[in-house]
Structures are given as C-alpha cells and as structure tokens.
Amino acid sequence: MRIVDNIKVWGEPLENAVSQAVTCSQYGDVLGVALMADHHKGYSQPIGGVVAYRNMISPSGVGYDIACGNKAVRTNLMWDDIRERIGVIMDDIQTTISFGVGRNNPTPVEHELFDDPSWKLFDSIEGGLQQKLKGLARNQLGTVGSGNHFVDIFVEEKTDKVWIANHFGSRGFGHKVASGFLNLAAGRAFSGKAPGESMDQPPTLFNLNSEMGDMYWAAMTLAGRYAYAGRDYVIEQVLGILGASAEYTVHNHHNFAWKEQHMGEEVVVVRKGATPLAPGQLGFVGGSMGDMSVIVEGIESEENNESFRSTVHGAGRIMSRTQAAGKMNYKLRKRMGGEISEEQMQAAIRAYGVELRGAGTDESPFVYKKLQDVLMAHANTLQINHRLRPVGVAMAGSNEFDPYKD
C-alpha cells in the first residue's frame, strides 16, 4: 500500500483513477478514500474505489449496477462426476438461463421481496412508478445480463470439488433506481431523460438525514435484496442442471453502501467494484475465463483497517472493451475487429481447458491482469482459502452491450 495525493492505493496507481479518487475526497464529509489493486476509471467514483462518508450516501458512487456481486457454491460433486458431460451441461446452462441486455425470464419468478412495503416509496416519488418498476423487476428476476456477467463452473485445486458461481446485479431495476435518483438530485423528474454525463463529474451526495437520502437508502437496500434473490435463483437452476446440492456458500455485493465502524466512527462506506472483507468475512473474487478465481477471507491487520476492510472484486482490466473488440461502436465492432481476434480468444480458452458459451473478445483473458498478481498487493489483508479453476464459462454473446454491467 502507498499514499498518492492523500489516497491509499494498492497495486500500481492509475493516474485517471487516482484523479477521480482525489475528486471524491474533496466533496462531502469524507473520512478517507482507498483504491484497491484492480482499480480503474469509472463513472464519478473509480471502480475499485472505496469512500467512507460521515452521514452521507453517494448514488453516483454506488453506481448504475446497484448491488452487483457474486455468489459461489461448493457442490457435493467431484470433477470426475461431470467431466465427461461438461459440454452438455454448458449447453443446458446457456439455453436454460437468460443472458443478454434487457432479457426477461421466460418464467417470471414469484418472490417475497415483491411484497416489501419499500416498493411504496416509488409512488411517493411519481404516480404509477411502483407498478412500473416492480413489473420490470419481476420480469427480469433470474436473468444474468451481459458485459462481464457470467455463470461459471469451477474445479477446486487439490480437492477436485465442483463449484459454481455467478456475477451480476440488480439488472434494469437497479439501473432505473440509480438514474432516477441522479435525475432527482439534478432537479429533473425521476423518469426524465438525463443528458450525457461526464465520467469525471464530482460525486452526487445526499445527507442520510434528508428525505432524499432516506428514500435512496431504502431503494438501494431493496435493489440489494433483489440482486441476492436473482443470484440465488440462478444458482438453484445450475444446481438442478448438475443434479447437485450445495455444501458451502459465499455471497456478497461489490457495488453498494454499508453503515460500518471505522477509526472509531460510524460511517457509510461506498464500495464501487470493491469487496467488503472484514476479519473472518468471506468473499469470492473472480479472475478471467482463463485464470483462477478464489475464495478469500479477511484477516486482522492494520493494513486491512486502512483499506476500510475491503479488497478487489476481480483481476482488473488492462485493455478497454473497445480496444479489445474494435474501436467502433458495439454494433460495428464484430465487423471491424479489434486487437484481440476471436481465433486468439478461442485458442487460449481451449488451451486452458474451458468449455465456453457466449462471450466476446472484450472478455478474453488477454484484457485482464493475472488475479494472483492483483491479490499479492493485498497479501497483508487477506488469506486465500480456496483456489478455483474454471472448466465452464457462460456469458452473453459478443453482439450484446449491457448498460447494467459494473
């Protein structure tokens, strides 16, 4: 860990992300700011950025993919139980689970969260808004989206146990909540059309004691419950495809805000693309489709306290999506091509022994750092409990662009 412009930074500092972190430190009542080793530039607050506020919440810091996170499950199966049918399993996952932007679940899921009284707050903002948002949420519950969102099958090193994991958030509902409250903060209607916003604009802040802050906190919390329900549903689908049961579960957000105690104060910790990891707390951190993923556990250390008990949420990109897939827009990128070819990606995945379904070159192993290198920067804050090698990866196809990704 090093200090750059009064920002605590793990890993190699990226100037544009550090600049965003400095901006975050200058607005509101801030206890401190930290950048995890997978940090890179984001909207308003850098991805991999952690900001601790006194009695304030930042909807731009939490971001558009509210409650994006991971669920990982160790199953009762061994690799030899599924090795010969991994191709069929991945075909079933691809056809059973809805991947892609704006997709609805063919079989809408009933869930107790739709009876939560928090939904009523939307009608207090705008007439008919509760029904509109609840309908969107109900239709999309259990869909995965695209971008870097996935459903994976892993084999644990040393034990050969089969694990499954997923990565996605609150889908269109969370995106509408984020854009709606950012509209309200700017004096526009919740459902109004927002102008193009700068990646480097200062954070949007609400006082927690204000009506707006209270409403956003309730809406964010509801989106968090929704994201958990979606990840639970997808994991159950995959367990059914495998004919397996769950033995052990790790589940957490990495785009969210939490009320926590740090440095003797109660603060609101806004993590964008950062995993909470207090001593004894578990987290799943995913690498690329051609790299290991891990289950980590926070340890008691001064450096962990300095990070606001946080760690990375992934390996971190070294190449932008457009650089990898083509510098044109998403509709043209497949025709125009980018720095990473489809053939290169497929060859790398085959060499690593992964059954791949979907995914574009902007998600290939070449565009990510090695997870082990990133984790080394946090060696004094965590321990690795389980190392997982991917054997099956399912994502949306290369022709999808997802505004709900983190």
Let me know the angle formed at the C-alpha of 401 by 238 and 227, rounded to the nearest 5 degrees.
45
Any known ligand binding at 310?
A: no
Any known ligand binding at 116?
A: no
Any known ligand binding at 288?
A: yes
Any known ligand binding at 298?
A: no
**Distance in angstroms between the alpha carbons of the first and the last residue of the chain:** 25
If we measure between CA atoms, which residue out of 188, 198, 178 comes closest to residue 255?
A: 178
Query: Active-site residue among 39, 253, 313, 386?
Result: 313
Q: What is the DSSP letter of 190?
A: T
Any known ligand binding at 5?
A: no
Amino acid at 310: S
Q: How far apart are CA 369 and CA 264, in angstroms?
A: 35
DSSP string, 79-90: HHHHGGGHHHHH
Any known ligand binding at 287?
A: yes
Any known ligand binding at 380?
A: no
Any known ligand binding at 186?
A: no
Q: Is 313 a catalytic residue?
A: yes
Any known ligand binding at 111?
A: no
| 3 state SS for 300-361 | CCHHHHHCCCEEECECCECCCHHHHHCCCCHHHHHHHCCCCCHHHHHHHHHHHCCEEEEECH
Q: Which residues contact 287 (CB under 8 A, 6 or more apart)?
A: 293, 294, 314, 315, 368, 370, 371
Q: Which residues make beta-bridge pairs with 286?
A: 314
Residue matched to tokens 């991999």? 48
Any known ligand binding at 286?
A: yes
With contact defined as beta carbons under 8 Å apart, do 123 and 132 qualify? no
Measured in residues, the chain has a length of: 406
Q: Which residues make beta-bridge pairs with 249?
A: 73
Any known ligand binding at 40?
A: no
Q: Which residues of 233-244 are buried (b: 16+ CB within 10 A; e: fewer)?
A: bbbebbbebbeb
Any known ligand binding at 319?
A: no
Active site residues: 313
Which residues are part of a known binding site for Mn(2+)? 65, 149, 167, 254
Known binding-site residues equal: 65, 149, 167, 254-255, 286-289, 293, 313-316
Give the residue numbers of the binding site for GMP. 254-255, 286-289, 293, 313-316
